[in-house]
């Protein structure tokens, strides 16, 4: 078992799809190990997405991620990072496979419902960004 970070993004909390997305992730075999709702400041969103600072969509991305509440969560599964990337689908919902979170719930390439870590290294960094050790369920069950 390993862990990864997902964030239900502000488009999905705003249009009432957060519960459906969480249910879908549980159906797909992920176990929630930590979860909270927060509204990112501009500084927090900028730091979280610092790797994209030079990309043309960075300003739009920070504006979107601060536009409403989001729900970061730690998810556990076998090979959690690639498993969650498969479950969420391509960045652009028009290219996402059937049954993926983004195919079902994303509005556009920018407003795409969910974030998922793209490597074990980034998962560790992103989990620590949102959760302290004591926030995370580490005991069996
Ligand atoms: P991901 O790993 O599939 O989330 O995709 P990336 O790491 O490439 O991009 C991070 C996030 O930036 C995406 O999930 C989108 O919310 C946003 N993003 C990526 N490309 C675009 C774009 O062309 N336009 C806008 N507005 N946002 C984008």
User: How much distance in Å is there from the Cα of 84 to the middle of ligand 1?
Assistant: 16
16: left (phi > 0), else alpha (psi -120 to 50), else beta? left
What separation, in Å, do the N-terminal and C-terminal C-alpha atoms of the chain show? 13
Alpha carbons 65 and 108: distance in angstroms, whole number: 14
Q: Is residue 115 flagged as an active site residue?
A: yes
pLDDT band at 139 (very low <50, low <70, confident <90, very high): low
pLDDT tens for residues 8-47? 999 999 999 999 999 999 999 999 999 999 999 999 999 9
Q: Give the confidence band of 140 by pLDDT, cuts at 50, 70, 90.
A: low
Per-residue model confidence as pLDDT tens digits over 79-100: 999 999 999 999 999 999 999 9
67-76 per-position pLDDT tens digit? 999 999 999 9
pLDDT score of 137: 80
**Of the listed 115, 116, 117, 126, which one is catalytic?**
115
Which residue ranges form the domains of the chain, and what is each CATH number?
2-38+70-135 (3.30.70.141)
Closest CA to 25 of 94, 95, 104, 141: 104
pLDDT of residue 132: 95
The pocket around ligand 1, CB under 6 angstroms, is made up of 52, 57, 60-61, 91, 109-110, 112, 115, 118
Calculated CA dihedral for residues 135, 12, 26, 140, nearest 10 degrees:
0
Alpha carbon of 101 to those of 53, 62, 107, 134: distances in Å?
A: 26, 21, 11, 29
What global pTM score does this model have?
Answer: 0.97
Determine which residue's CA is closest to atom 5 belonging to ligand 1: 91
* C-alpha 28, offset from chain centre: 15
Q: Over the stretch 104-133, which tens digit does the pLDDT of each residue have?
A: 999 999 999 999 999 999 999 999 999 998
Q: How far is the CA of 116 from the centre of ligand 1 (A)?
A: 11
- Looking at residue 136, its pLDDT comes to 86
> Which of 64, 91, 93 for a ligand 1 pocket mutation test, highest count of atoms within 8 Å of Cβ?
91
């Amino acid at each position: 078992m390993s862990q990864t970070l997902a964030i239900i993004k502000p488009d999905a909390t705003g249009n009432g799809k957060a519960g459906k997305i969480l249910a879908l992730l549980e159906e797909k075999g992920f176990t929630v190990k930590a979860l909270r709702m927060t509204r990112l400041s501009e500084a927090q969103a900028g730091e979280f997405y610092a790797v994209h600072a030079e990309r043309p969509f960075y300003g739009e991305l920070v504006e979107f991620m601060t536009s409403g509440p989001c729900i970061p969560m730690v998810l556990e599964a076998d090979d959690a990072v690639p498993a969650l990337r498969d479950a969420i689908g391509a960045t652009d919902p028009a290219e996402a496979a059937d049954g993926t979170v983004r195919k079902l719930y994303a509005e556009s390439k920018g407003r795409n419902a969910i974030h998922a870590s793209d490597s074990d290294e980034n998962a560790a960094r992103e989990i620590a960004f949102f959760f302290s050790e004591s926030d995370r369920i580490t005991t069996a069950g």
